[in-house]
Structure 1
């Protein structure tokens, strides 16, 4: 189903749901103007914008000050020390008033009808739908088109999107383009925002949100997501990688949230893949933790056992 801006009721802006855009910045100076101009270009009339600078060391704070001065309704939060995305977002979430929230990294770009289309979609969904996500254009650092998030072949999308109760899906595989999400305020309130103990937010948010709320895939492109090869390489499975430690912490939560054998089997798919990567890159302590989770899920296969024994022997 395709939603157009006309799907929004012909009402004064104040009668429409307030949408809070939390614009998170850390050293995004080369991309800030394009990102912030894309907020200003939104066709949706009822926005709350909170600009958050996470102690950038480039010219970002000055750019943000100029935009805040030119847009008096925008709020500006300049953090004195770097908190990381989870804590920085929570600072803004706690002061935001929106019925819906967008976590917007200021190296990405919102297409003009992004907010209007997602709000229109939410207004047609039952209240237990907590997230609407979409397709995205992936762009390079010069804003050049690379590809879409979802590849289209034979009438199918790859990775396969999912709608409805997606808890098992988010356990087993990555398929959501995080920057495209619009989140219902009630979801974030129930979760207490992002988990500030983690190095990244999306996997944990998906797992905890999908337990009690449905997700909806809107098959439209609403966002341009910027790719940074250097930052992507830092998320590899290097020794003492904080992302891997956070993944293990989320998997522990997920195991406690599983209610059925099907859900435990879905989690085992992810645990098995993470175990292989941990062994491959020499993260033997993390490999032992992942093997322990597979054991607790009653999902150990012969190769898992071999890798678990290897990690145990080499880690002594």
Structure 2
């Protein structure tokens, strides 16, 4: 008697100029121990030879789906195009400069099933690696034997947590499709997806944390954080837009206070890099979260002085 297959898991492998890391990433999909995968290889108009490599893997694994986009549309739109074509009960957004450890999907599905249907997102610890694949550190603190020494990260209702601080390693997430459907996928008007997804998902869905290392995240010298608020930063407008969404979603003084923590940090960065219009928008939001501090008033004065 044949046993029923476990739930279908969709892996959306998103590539944009990842040619030098692509083989390691795709080999890690092929090495998964989980038996029921739907794979979408999506190239967002790469110019470095990635499409040819993706064609090779699609030929080697005929069950995998290939989507070569003629124009660069950005991560949010590229992911949504594959999401709309896919069918998995659970979904992984997988950047093809990262690596999935062999038990990643199997362990995460088992965890999400145990958490129950209100758990829309699970995340876990990861091994941060350099461009050559060497270990740099873990996302959460661990001792020399690899045992966790960190306070347990937030789980369950985490709306206030995602407003106030960064703690989720994006490549480690698995989504429940019903949650993505309810949210309408990623917001395609934004330049990046994770902060917005955390905020919208955490409002009504539980998050689950696995204290395991199941993913390798590759670090790059030109990370998003190094570009923040510098001239030409493509992400700052999206960050402010998500903060505006979050303010509208806050229901309690505690949630507004949590958002104020993030707004203060963003406001300091905007002032530091003399981004006047952004600083003024952030200050206006901060005023709506609750009582201001003396430094808040000072930053507001400086923000008004910039062009």
TM-score for both structures, normalised by structure 2 = 0.96
Provide the C-alpha distance between the structure 1 equivalents of 2:224 and 2:302, rounded to a whole number of angstroms: 29
Deviation beyond 6 Å, 4+ runs, structure 1: none
- Map 1:145-156 → 2, pairs under 5 A: 145-152=135-142, 156=149
Match of residue 205 from structure 1:
197
Deviation at 1:310, TM superposition (A): 1.2
Is the 1:239–1:282 contact (alpha carbons within 8 Å) kept by the matching residues of 2?
A: no
SS in 2 for 1:39: helix
Provide the C-alpha distance between the structure 1 equivalents of 2:226 and 2:68, rounded to a whole number of angstroms: 26
Describe the superposition over 1:79-114 as per-residue Cα deviations: whole angstroms up to 9, x where unpaired: 000011001000000001000000000000000000
Match of residue 126 from structure 1:
116
Describe the superposition over 1:273-301 as per-residue Cα deviations: whole angstroms up to 9, x where unpaired: 10001100111110000000011222422
SS in 2 for 1:287: helix
Is the 1:18–1:98 contact (alpha carbons within 8 Å) kept by the matching residues of 2?
A: yes
Provide the C-alpha distance between the structure 1 equivalents of 2:226 and 2:46, rounded to a whole number of angstroms: 19
Provide the C-alpha distance between the structure 2 equivalents of 1:11 and 1:109, rounded to a whole number of angstroms: 32
Describe the superposition over 1:227-251 as per-residue Cα deviations: whole angstroms up to 9, x where unpaired: 0012346532203522111111000
Provide the C-alpha distance between the structure 1 equivalents of 2:6 and 2:69, rounded to a whole number of angstroms: 31
Name the stretch that deviates more: 305-314 or 81-90: 305-314
Match of residue 255 from structure 2:
263
Match of residue 157 from structure 1:
150
Is the 2:76–2:186 contact (alpha carbons within 8 Å) kept by the matching residues of 1?
A: yes
- Change in Cα spacing, 1:42 to 1:11, as seen in structure 2 (3 Å) is farther
Describe the superposition over 1:240-266 as per-residue Cα deviations: whole angstroms up to 9, x where unpaired: 522111111000000111011100000
Provide the C-alpha distance between the structure 2 equivalents of 1:21 and 1:197, rounded to a whole number of angstroms: 23
2:212 to 211, 220, 229: 220
- Change in Cα spacing, 1:11 to 1:261, as seen in structure 2 (3 Å) is farther
SS in 1 for 2:132: coil
Deviation at 1:126, TM superposition (A): 2.0
Does residue 244 of the first structure (1) align with residue 236 of the second (2)? yes
- Map 1:24-63 → 2, pairs under 5 A: 24-63=14-53
Question: What RMSD, in angstroms, separates the aligned Cα atoms of the two structures?
Answer: 1.6
TM-score for both structures, normalised by structure 1 = 0.93
Match of residue 3 from structure 1:
none
Corresponding pairs, count: 304
Is the 1:265–1:299 contact (alpha carbons within 8 Å) kept by the matching residues of 2?
A: no
- Give unmatched runs, 5+ long, in structure 1: 1-9
